[in-house]
Amino acid sequence: MSERKILIAGNWKMNGLTKDAVELSGSIAAKIDVYGKEPECEFLVCPPTVQISTVAEIVEDTMIAVGGQDCHFAEKGAHTGDTSPYMLKDAGCSFVIVGHSERRANHGETDEIVLKKAELANTAGLKAIICIGETEAEKDAGKTIDVCKTQIGGSVPANATAENTVIAYEPVWAIGTGRTPTAEDVQATHKEIRAALAAKIGGEADKVQILYGGSVKPSNAKEFLSLPDVDGALIGGASLKADDFWAIAEATF
Ligand code: 13P
């Protein structure tokens, strides 16, 4: 039996105003309360940057952790519009997502940049959720495993541990599309990702959580979350509804 706990993580992306963030985080906290005992999984929400402090205050005395959706690789300085991982930590975060495919595609983030972000996030005391995953063209060319291995090799810090790192496998073509790989494919890819991680950090790889992301919803959650090398989900659209987010978590109870 794996000692890895299941992590149910919501990436709210650029959605909602403060009132929505207040309602959503409050509703998730209320569901945990009603459940009446410590849920079997870990919870994380990643609100838009400007809502982090508000959400952090709401979930302060709950088991819900808060994360940023991105950070800069510099501690401080002339980087207009960017956010340092130290600022995220200061605002109440314990996690930060780095290398999401939307950052890689829309902001030209390379493995080198993602690596630097993960390293500084760790130094700042944040757990980095490092995202990897192939595009549709790469999938069609049979390159899924190669792409994931290259991204693990290039964007995971050499001193990554289960304490400071989570990996999220998110096939780009499955994000927001309603399409997903088969459970068999997800398990096979996660196994290869763990092997690539082991080549980099040794036996510690067995303790690192590897999340699946891409069109996770209540109806397919159990299928993915019961796979041996899937240790949680990074959820976009369905994390914006407390009922759906909770239903996905419930699939692990
Ligand atoms: P969806 O769950 O909306 O497909 O988004 C997945 C994702 O990108 C989470 O980071």
Q: What is the mean pLDDT of residues 146-173?
A: 98
C-alpha 219 to ligand 1 mean position (Å) = 15
**Whole-model pTM?**
0.98
| 1 in a structural domain | no
Cβ neighbours, 10 Å, residue 48: 18
pLDDT of residue 3: 85
Pocket of ligand 1 (CB under 6 A): 11, 100, 170, 175-176, 213-216, 234-238
Place 143 in a pLDDT band, splitting at 50, 70 and 90. Answer: very high
- Band of the pLDDT at 212, cuts 50, 70, 90? very high
pLDDT category at 65 given cuts 50, 70, 90 is very high
Question: Phi and psi for 187 in degrees, rounded to 5?
Answer: -60, -45
Ligand 1 centre to CA of 78 (Å) is 31
Answer yes or no: is 220 within a domain. yes
- The answer as to whether 227 is a domain residue is yes
Residue 54: inside a domain: yes
Residue 1 pLDDT > 60, yes or no? no
Identify the domain containing residue 32 by its residue range: 6-250
Q: Is 190 a catalytic residue?
A: no
Q: How many domains does the chain have?
A: 1
Q: State the average pLDDT over residues 58-85.
A: 98
List 72, 100, 119, 134, catalytic entry = 100
pLDDT single digits (tens) 79-134 = 999 999 999 999 999 999 999 999 999 999 999 999 999 999 999 999 999 999 99
- The CATH number linked to 191 is 3.20.20.70
Share of the chain above pLDDT 70, in %: 99
Q: Quick check: is 107 catalytic?
A: no
Kindly give the distance from the C-alpha atom of residue 77 to the centroid of ligand 1, in angstroms, as a whole number. Answer: 31
pLDDT confidence band for 235 (50 / 70 / 90) = very high
